[in-house]
Structure 1
Amino acid sequence: MRIIVTGSIAYDYIMVFPGRFREHILPDKMHVLSVSFLVDSLKRMHGGTGPNIAYNLALLGERPILVGTAGEDFGEYRAALEAAGVDTSGVRQISGEFTASCFINTDLQDNQITAFYAGAMAHAATLSLHEQALGPDDLVIIAPNDPAAMARYAEECTALGIPYLYDPSMQAPRLTAEELEQGFRGARILTGNDYEFGMMAEKLGISEAALRRRVPITVMTLGEAGALITVGEQEYEIPPAKPARLVDPTGAGDAFRAGFVKGLLAGCSWPVAGRIGALAATYALEQSGTQQHRYTLAEFIARYRENFGDSEEIETLLTPRVTME
């Protein structure tokens, strides 16, 4: 089994403004808004849903294949992902484009002003999963990306009979009910947080309970309350793992998805797979940035036991899976 991860590939530009935005915005001049903020710091960090998920899968011992589009500035990012254990052979660099970029300016009250530039991501729909020569034993992760690309990958997976995890999450507000239904049609797993599930249910005109049974397996993350896994009529409440510190929630959802998928592929029960996801998310919470955390499998297993007790199933993470080439 191979794991194909599709999703946005982006740089995150993180800025901190040492003041409060509201003190520089005049309510009666909002119609002619023109403001400039001098920031104290700027960091360029690796991001994007596809690489985030792939990076966390690599930490857990997998060799995922990342599929997506990036710009001419992707060289350094590609090298870092390869060094981490991610196969980037499925990433196409687009001539004349920059890699998608997210510019986030945060003030002292944690208010944010964000701008997102799609750049090379706008070409993601030009890629086809047929190029990967996939089979029914493989798994495709369709994470937030250019909507046309997400639709194409879901359609190709359905036509080829390839199981896929569908994760509309941050693109849910943009997708229509028809587009969501198309994504659900052949999905084996649907993931998102509780707010996103509520939004999707409202768009479809159904209850959240009905949405959680729209596909064979749904995984709804609940922030600090953990997660809820629904398999048919059976539901499993997943407790959160305890973070050593809370630094940045960005990327925690992607880490959870990677951990859950790892547990699924390792043959773990639903509760254990969910707990693996919860622990993977906690590592992301403890660092600034989505790919700054590190751990060995032995360290991960030891921390799992600290949070959730002993389990013979968790030992399966130390057994390498046989990957068919």
Structure 2
Amino acid sequence: MTTAKYDVLGIGNAIFDILVRTDDAFLTRHGMAKGSMALIDEAQAAAIYSAMGPATEVSGGSAANTITGVAAFGARAAYVGKVKDDQIGRMYSHDIRAANVTFTTPVATDGPATGCSYILVTPDGERTMNTYLGAAQNLRPADIDPEQIAAASITYLEGYLWDPADAKNAFVKASKIAHDAGRTVALTLSDAFCVHRYRDEFLDLMRGATVDLVFANEAELLSLYQSTDVDAALAQLRKDAAFAVVTRSEKGCVVVTKDKITAVPAFPIEKVVDTTGAGDLFAAGFLFGLVRGASHEQAGRLGALAAAEIIQHIGARPQVSLKELAQKHGLPV
């Protein structure tokens, strides 16, 4: 196996995040399921935007958040996602490159605008997302560069890619290339509603070894197995996945292998401000730990540290050097 050029390469829906503080009444008026991610069309996006208050705007997307987190730890990171050659697309490209992430996916010159997600943050820190995929859904297998995928130690894919058919095919192509090169493929299940839509297909990806490592939170895990019993769902996960990590909010996470389940505590925080990106940044820390040869427990601690940093401010991009933060807490970097 050749030496990797990238530690982690992410593939996902390139989405520009528009975050606003609001209350539960706003969600109710607009028929939003609190804590969920709903796909919307351009007209719905315009209606939500016009009803929103002042917003914070930043480049986002689940896998992109993870990859910028990986870069913030000091790792070599790359990202594949589709934006249009429009104002928001150019802002998106600038932001992710400024975060020390290699981003070379060809931009779309026609078709829908760059995707946006309208993220409503309630006083309890919970985020409710309404996503217009736009150009992101036009990611195609032709956008997957075989040399780039083969040059990454870990290719990280988001479950949201399973919505557009072309992106799904790009996902499968990337997985095959990575495995042919002897690399690791990771998947985040992304959202409980996403799992509900594609439960059988996600299980097939795990059981068929299309993916080697799976990230999920408790809600996604329970949705995957249509269960209300976390322990029973974890037992089933051990049978289906070679390697998995389940995050449990303030209870930390569990690392699941065929041999054992390892519990890792959460980092204490002062106050939850915004949970947007918590799972994404947890994955960043865990993946960083893996490529640095850390134990599963240490990787879990790195993930917990990154998640703790991100939920104490608005937005899903770190506001400090995660490498320096890890060093401060005596974690391997």
TM-score (norm 2): 0.78
Kindly tell me the number of residue pairs found equivalent between the two proteins: 296
Distance 1:46 1:167 in 2: 19
**1:101–1:201 Cα change, 3 Å:** same
Distance 2:91 2:28 in 1: 39
Distance 1:280 1:112 in 2: 18
- Residue 230 of structure 1 is matched in structure 2 by 256
What is the aligned counterpart of 1:50 among 33, 41, 63?
A: 63
- Residue 70 of structure 1 is matched in structure 2 by 83
- Residue 266 of structure 1 is matched in structure 2 by 292
Q: Which amino acid aligns with 1:54?
A: I
Distance 1:195 1:64 in 2: 29
What is the aligned counterpart of 2:72 among 59, 75, 94?
A: 59
**1:109–1:190 Cα change, 3 Å:** closer
Larger Rg: 1
Preserved contact between residue 16 and residue 105 of structure 1 (Cα < 8 Å): yes
Q: Which amino acid aligns with 1:168?
A: L
TM-score (norm 1): 0.80
**1:155–1:237 Cα change, 3 Å:** same
What is the aligned counterpart of 1:116 among 116, 131, 148?
A: 131
Preserved contact between residue 306 and residue 322 of structure 2 (Cα < 8 Å): no
Shift of 1:183: 5.2
How do 1:28-47 residues align onto structure 2 when only pairs under 5 Å count?
38-47=51-60
How do 1:1-325 residues align onto structure 2 when only pairs under 5 Å count?
1=4, 2=6, 3-17=8-22, 20-21=25-26, 38-72=51-85, 73-89=88-104, 91-96=105-110, 97-105=112-120, 114-135=129-150, 138-147=153-162, 148=165, 149-158=167-176, 160-161=179-180, 162-170=183-191, 171-182=194-205, 184-186=207-209, 187-202=211-226, 207-295=233-321, 297-302=323-328, 304-305=329-330, 314-315=331-332, 317=333
- Residue 311 of structure 1 is matched in structure 2 by none
**1:111–1:87 Cα change, 3 Å:** closer
Q: Which amino acid aligns with 1:233?
A: D
**1:225–1:286 Cα change, 3 Å:** same
* 1:234-263 Cα shifts (integer Å, max 9, x gaps): 111010011233211110100000100111
Root-mean-square deviation (CA, aligned residues, Å) is 3.0
Higher relative contact order by CA 8 Å / sep ≥ 6: 1 or 2?
2
Q: Secondary structure at the match of 2:55?
A: strand
Q: Which amino acid aligns with 1:13?
A: I
**1:93–1:107 Cα change, 3 Å:** same
Shift of 1:11: 1.2
Preserved contact between residue 13 and residue 42 of structure 1 (Cα < 8 Å): yes
* 1:289-324 Cα shifts (integer Å, max 9, x gaps): 00152225233221x24xxxxxxxx34x1xxxxxxx
- Flag structure 1 segments of 5+ consecutive residues without an equivalent: 27-34, 306-313, 318-325
- Residue 35 of structure 2 is matched in structure 1 by none
Q: Which amino acid aligns with 1:41?
A: P
